[in-house]
Amino acid sequence: MRNIILAISTILFSVQLSAQNFDAHNLGSDNYNRVYIDVVSKAARLNGDWGLLGGMRIGYNFNKQYSLGLVAHGLIPDHIESTYINRDGRDELNLGYGGVEASYNYFFSKKFSLTGTMMIGAGRAEFVELGGHDYFFIMEPGASINYNLTDWFGLGYAVNYRMASGVNYSKFSNASFSGWSMDLAFKFGF
C-alpha cells in the first residue's frame, strides 16, 4: 500500500513539474494549478460516543476554485477516556472510510478562504474479537475555513456531516456511523 501511495504521489508530482516552468521565480506566484496533500485529525460522533480519526487527502487543484482528490480516514483505536467509542470492557472497533472528494474554494483574500466539499466513498467496520466485517456507503458534505501561512502551507478547520448507508453489522445501523464531525487539517501545496 505504501508503494502505491508513493507511486501515485511521484506521478502526480512529476506531471506537475513537467507541466510548468518550475524555477525560483514562480514560487510566490498565484498559480493554484498544483498538487495538495492534507494531514487531517478528525473528531466525530460514532454510535452515540465520540471517536478520533486520523487521515489524509491528496488531490489536484484544477484552478483557484476547483479541486478533486482522494481522502481516507481511520479510527484511532486507543482507549482515550470514558466517553470514547473504544474503552475498557468493550470489543475494540476498527473503522475506516474514504473516497473521492470534490471541493470549491471561495477566497476572501490571499490568506483566507472558505471551502465547500463533498466526499463520496465507502467504509469498513469490524470488531477485533467478534470477527467479521461490513462495508458500507459514505457521503460526507462539509465546509471549512482555511488560512494560508505561506504559499505552500496552511491550516484548515472544517465541519462535516457524515451519512452512512448499508450498515448491517453487529448492533450498528446507518445512524451509528452517521453524524457530525469536525477536523483540523495541515495543508501542503506543491
Counting beta carbons within 10 angstroms of the beta carbon of residue 74, is it exposed (0 to 12), middle (13 to 18) or buried (19 or more)? middle
User: What is the predicted pLDDT for the residue at 112?
Assistant: 95
Q: Are 91 and 79 a contacting pair, CB within 8 Å?
A: no
User: What is the predicted pLDDT for the residue at 4?
Assistant: 55
Q: How far lies 5's CA from each of 11, 96, 170, in Å?
A: 10, 17, 32
Closest Cα partner for 9 from 44, 55, 58? 58
User: What is the predicted pLDDT for the residue at 1?
Assistant: 52
Residues 6+ apart with CB under 8 A from 23: none
What the block records as the C-alpha cell of 8 is 501515485
Q: Are 51 and 42 a contacting pair, CB within 8 Å?
A: no
User: What is the predicted pLDDT for the residue at 64?
Assistant: 87
What the block records as the C-alpha cell of 122 is 465507502
User: What is the predicted pLDDT for the residue at 186?
Assistant: 97
Q: Quick check: is 137 in a domain?
A: yes
Q: Are 106 and 112 a contacting pair, CB within 8 Å?
A: no
User: What is the predicted pLDDT for the residue at 83?
Assistant: 60
User: What is the predicted pLDDT for the residue at 70?
Assistant: 98
Q: Quick check: is 18 in a domain?
A: no
Q: Show the domain range for 116.
A: 32-189
Q: What pTM value is reported for the model?
A: 0.76
CA 116 to chain centre: 13
User: What is the predicted pLDDT for the residue at 25?
Assistant: 35
CATH number of the structural domain spanning residue 182: 2.40.160.20
User: What is the predicted pLDDT for the residue at 148?
Assistant: 94
Number of domains in the chain: 1
pLDDT tens sequence across 110-138? 999 999 999 999 999 888 878 788 899 99
CA 113 to chain centre: 18
Q: Quick check: is 4 in a domain?
A: no
Q: Quick check: is 152 in a domain?
A: yes
Q: Quick check: is 6 in a domain?
A: no
Instruction: Give all strands (DSSP E) within 6-151, no chain letters.
Output: 35-46, 49-61, 66-75, 93-107, 112-127, 134-148
d(CA 99, CA 58): 11
Q: Quick check: is 98 in a domain?
A: yes
Average pLDDT per run of 10 along the chain, which is 190 residues long?
52 45 42 86 87 94 94 83 64 89 95 96 88 90 96 95 89 88 94
User: What is the predicted pLDDT for the residue at 19?
Assistant: 43
Residues 6+ apart with CB under 8 A from 48: 176
User: What is the predicted pLDDT for the residue at 9?
Assistant: 52
pLDDT tens sequence across 83-115? 666 666 677 788 899 999 999 999 999 999 999
Q: Quick check: is 143 in a domain?
A: yes
Q: Quick check: is 166 in a domain?
A: yes
User: What is the predicted pLDDT for the residue at 126?
Assistant: 87
User: What is the predicted pLDDT for the residue at 172?
Assistant: 83
